[in-house]
Amino acid sequence: MKLHEYQSKSIFAEFGIPIPQGRVASTASEAKTIARELGDRVVVKAQVLVGGRGKAGGVRLAKSPEEAEDFATQILGMRIKGLPVRKVLVDEAADPTTELYLSITNDRSAKSPVMIGSSEGGVEIEEVARKHPEKIVRVLIDPLLGLQGFQARYLASSMELSREYWRDFIKIACGLYEAYRKSDATLAEINPLVITKDKRLLALDGKIVLDDNSLFRHPEYIEMRDMDEEAPAEREARMYGLSYVKLDGNIGCMVNGAGLAMATLDVTKLAGGEPANFLDIGGGAGSEKVAAGLRIILADPNVDVVLVNVFGGITRCDEVARGILTAMKEEKPQVPMVVRLVGTNEKDGRRILADADIITADSLEEAANLAVASIKENGAE
Ligand code: GDP
Ligand code: MN
């Protein structure tokens, strides 16, 4: 779950990271009122869950409350990378002299949290990685020890930070690590972390991504979810407890079990197809979950065929078959379905599907080949 900038920064503040004063507004007149309270110069910032708002015109410096109102009107009418702007953050304007980058995330190959710093802040870190890979420093953090002082000092020196800022920088780095750890985040990022004209370190932008699997122990964060910003398919998947990841291909895949889903994507590729998604309906999925899974797949306009691969254990094949029929009645798919069902009650499952004229396959390989063939037959790309 991604948090907005204003939410991320309020968590930063709880962990002692200095942030500009500011408040969020949903109307231009509110923005004007906040600007008046904060003083003359403010920055008006679109609150959408994508990066690069600055480049898209979603971050504007205003010299007066009236100008702040104007900018808020413009920004609240914008779409950034397809997302409508419903709120703006009005922050007191800072005077940055230097923009740095600092984040912490999971390094999956190192199986460890990693803190990443760079003297090149303000631009996306991927861009720095391409153009100036030598300007990125990484330190792996042992979760049993936490971020050590020497590691924070190593970051500060590698980021070419002058000595006078080290004390504050180390506090910020430790605060960021604690924020990441205590909130069960998968990413906590400050970009830019700036040095102001009056020689303070300040987190001008913030981004936190929380691990959805930990939300049960953070009731305070569940309320932060912005339903309006979620893609409808993701929202539905979450409501039914399905894991769904959209991909770029045209073969919709519905599978029970994450490992089987990965194998299904591999075999689909091997057969010359391109999967449209990863979808794990989980163990013991009843017909309701299956129907939701199908609805999600069919809502993707790229999907030209649906490949269902179910290995019945706890999940009963007849339940899955009935789920497919229920979903087909509701959704009336215009694309062919290929189903491979094996395991518990497979005969019943296959009979139910055969009665409804659905293509079934005995093996995954056969199912993948049938799915690819059906796309070629229909002349779709
Ligand atoms: P992003 O484009 O979505 O990452 O939004 P940011 O909040 O990072 O803002 C983009 C850029 O706007 C920053 O890198 C800064 O250069 C600039 N910026 C943001 N806030 C201020 C501010 O208070 N004062 C000044 N002078 N520049 C700012
Ligand atoms: Mn930024």
Q: What does the alpha-carbon distance between residue 135 and residue 33 come to, in Å, rounded to a whole number?
A: 41
How close is the Cα of 191 to the center of ligand 2, in Å? 4
Q: What does the alpha-carbon distance between residue 278 and residue 257 come to, in Å, rounded to a whole number?
A: 11
Q: Is 240 a catalytic residue?
A: no
Neighbours of 149 (CB within 10 A): 10
Determine which one of 6, 101, 177, 240 is catalytic.
101
**Residue from 117, 113, 104, 127 nearest 52 by CA:** 127
Residue of minimum CA distance from atom 3 in ligand 1: 53
Q: Which ranges of 95-225 would DSSP assign to H, the alpha helix?
A: 125-131, 149-158, 166-182, 219-222
Place of tokens 């049960």: 216
Measured CA distances, 258 to 73, 77, 138, 169, 244 (Å): 45, 40, 31, 41, 10
Q: Is the pLDDT of residue 243 over 80?
A: yes
Q: What local confidence, expressed as pLDDT, does residue 285 receive?
A: 67
How close is the Cα of 108 to the center of ligand 1, in Å? 30
Q: Of all residues in the chain, what percent carry a pLDDT higher than 90? A: 74
pLDDT tens figures, 338-377: 999 999 999 999 999 988 888 899 899 999 999 999 998 8
pLDDT tens figures, 313-333: 887 888 888 888 888 888 788
**Which protein residues touch ligand 1 with a CB less than 6 Å away?**
43, 45, 51-54, 59, 61, 93-94, 96, 99, 122, 191-192, 204-205
Tokens matching residue 352: 């139910």
Please say whether the beta carbons of 275 and 263 come within 8 A.
no
**Ion ligand 2 residue ranges (Cβ < 5 Å):** 191, 205
To the nearest 5 percent, what fractions of the chain are helix, strand and coil? Answer: 40, 25, 35
Residue of minimum CA distance from atom 12 in ligand 1: 54
* Mean pLDDT of the 139-157 span: 97
Q: Is the pLDDT of residue 86 over 90?
A: yes
pLDDT tens figures, 155-200: 999 999 999 999 999 999 999 999 999 999 999 999 999 999 999 9
For residue 38, give every residue at least 6 positions away whose Cβ sits within 8 Å of its Cβ, in sequence order, or none.
21, 22, 90, 91, 92
Please say whether the beta carbons of 315 and 284 come within 8 A.
yes
How close is the Cα of 54 to the center of ligand 1, in Å? 6
Q: What does the alpha-carbon distance between residue 29 and residue 18 come to, in Å, rounded to a whole number?
A: 27
Q: What does the alpha-carbon distance between residue 112 and residue 139 come to, in Å, rounded to a whole number?
A: 10
Q: What does the alpha-carbon distance between residue 379 and residue 338 come to, in Å, rounded to a whole number?
A: 17
Q: Is 189 a catalytic residue?
A: yes
For residue 113, give every residue at least 6 positions away whose Cβ sits within 8 Å of its Cβ, in sequence order, or none.
104, 105, 106, 107, 140, 141, 143, 177, 180, 181
Q: Are strands 305-312 and 337-343 parallel, antiparallel or unpaired?
A: parallel
β-bridge partners, 138: 116
From the CA of 189, which ligand is nearest? Answer: 2
Neighbours of 95 (CB within 10 A): 11
Please say whether the beta carbons of 210 and 3 come within 8 A.
yes
Compute the mean pLDDT over every residue in the chain, rounded to the nearest whole number: 93
